[in-house]
């Protein structure tokens, strides 16, 4: 499971592995010498553990915030029945319309 799928529950359109952090480099717009280009490529291939840790913490905090917000909005609909292990549970998978009138 990728971090993107864990956060959004959809597959990314472009294949991207956040653990391979090859995108973290300084911007450059002028022609570079071979040594400078090799140095930039070496930086691109490094793992930036601090940046990945920040991204991980941000994604985790966002997931928790989303969960808490869902629980807050649906507090009147969420019921914890506390079913015991090995008990048979029958589920009605149908939307029940409110009785107005």
- Shortest CA distance to 40 belongs to which of 25, 29, 52, 55? 25
- In this predicted structure, the answer to whether residue 64 has a pLDDT above a threshold of 90 is yes
**Percent over 70 (pLDDT), the chain:** 69
Looking at residue 73, its pLDDT comes to 92
Residues 62-73, mean pLDDT to the nearest whole number:
93
Looking at residue 61, its pLDDT comes to 93
Under 8 Å between Cβ of 44 and 59: no
Residues 78-99, mean pLDDT to the nearest whole number:
81
Under 8 Å between Cβ of 88 and 51: no
- In this predicted structure, the answer to whether residue 15 has a pLDDT above a threshold of 60 is no
């Amino acid at each position: 499971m990728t971090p993107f799928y864990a956060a959004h529950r959809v597959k990314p359109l472009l294949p991207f592995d956040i653990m391979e952090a090859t995108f973290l480099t300084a911007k450059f717009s002028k022609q570079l010498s071979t040594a400078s280009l090799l140095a930039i490529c070496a930086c691109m291939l490094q793992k930036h553990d601090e940046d990945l840790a920040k991204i991980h913490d941000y994604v985790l905090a966002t997931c928790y915030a989303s969960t808490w917000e869902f629980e807050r909005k649906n507090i009147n609909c969420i019921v914890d029945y506390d079913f015991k292990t090995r008990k048979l549970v029958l589920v009605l998978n149908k939307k029940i319309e409110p009785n107005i009138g």
